[in-house]
Amino acid sequence: MMIRVSEISDEGVLIESPTDLGAVYVEPGRSLDAVSLSVQRQGRDVVVRGSFATTARLQCSRCLEALVHRVEPEVDLRLVPQPRERQGEVELSEDDLELDFYTGDVLDVAGLVRSETDLALPMKPLCRADCRGLCPVCGGNRNVTDCRCETRGPDPRLLPLEALRRLH
C-alpha cells in the first residue's frame, strides 16, 4: 500500500485490515494476520503507530525442522523525507534510532510492515529452547533419536597447540 504524504488528511489514515495493505510478503511462508496502524502527518514528517500480527513459517537453526513463529510487534516510528544527498559519514544520535525515511511524496506502508517483521523475527529460530540439533557425524536429529555415533577426536593439526597449552 502506497500513501501519498501530501494527501494524508488531518485525521490521518487508519489501516485495520490486512487486505488494505495487499500483498505484503514475497516469502511464501509468511502471512499478515491482523493490523491496526495509524498514519499521521506532522508537517513533512509522518508518524506511524500501532501494531500488527504476522505468522512466519521458519526452520529451526539447530535441527532444521519446520516451525511456526508468530510475531506481534508494536510500531512507533517517525519517518522524514529522504535527504537529497549525504556527504561523508553521519553520526546518529539516540533519537535517530526510531527514525526512518520516505522517498519523494510516497510512503510504502507494506514495506514498513515487512521491515518491522524482519526486525521482530528471531535471528536464530529454535523449535524449542532445549533443541539438541543434528549429530555432526551421521546428521541425525538428536531430538528424535539418541545417536550412538562416536564423537570425533581432536583435529590432528591442532595437537601441537594442545601440547603448548599443557605447558602453561
Side chain identity at 31, as an amino acid letter? S
Helix (H) / strand (E) containing 161? helix 159-167
> For residues 106 and 103, what is the distance between their CA atoms, to the nearest angstrom?
6
pLDDT tens, per residue, the chain with 168 residues: 888 888 889 888 999 999 988 889 988 899 999 999 999 999 889 999 999 999 999 999 999 999 999 999 999 999 888 777 655 566 667 766 667 888 888 888 999 999 999 999 999 999 999 999 999 888 899 999 888 887 767 788 888 888 888 886
CA distances from 24 to 31, 115, 127 (A): 8, 10, 25
Q: Are residues 136 and 124 in the same domain?
A: no
Report yes or no: 42 and 109 within 8 Å, Cβ to Cβ: no
- Are residues 49 and 23 part of one domain? yes
Contact 105, 113 (CB under 8 A): no
120 & 146 share domain: no
Please, which residues have CB within 8 angstroms of residue 152's CB and are 6 or more apart in sequence? 136, 137
Q: Note whether 119 and 39 are same-domain residues.
A: yes
Q: Supply the pTM of this predicted model.
A: 0.75
For residues 54 and 94, membership in a common domain is answered with yes
Q: Quick one: 20 and 8 in the same domain?
A: yes
Predicted pLDDT of residue 153: 72
**Total of domains in the chain:** 2
34 and 53 share a domain? yes
Same domain, 144 and 117: no
pLDDT at 159: 85
Segments of the chain assigned E as strands = 2-4, 13-15, 30-42, 45-59, 66-71, 74-81, 99-102, 106-108
Range of the domain at 71: 2-131
Q: For residues 100 and 77, what is the distance between their CA atoms, to the nearest angstrom?
A: 7
Indicate if 113 and 151 belong to the same structural domain. Answer: no
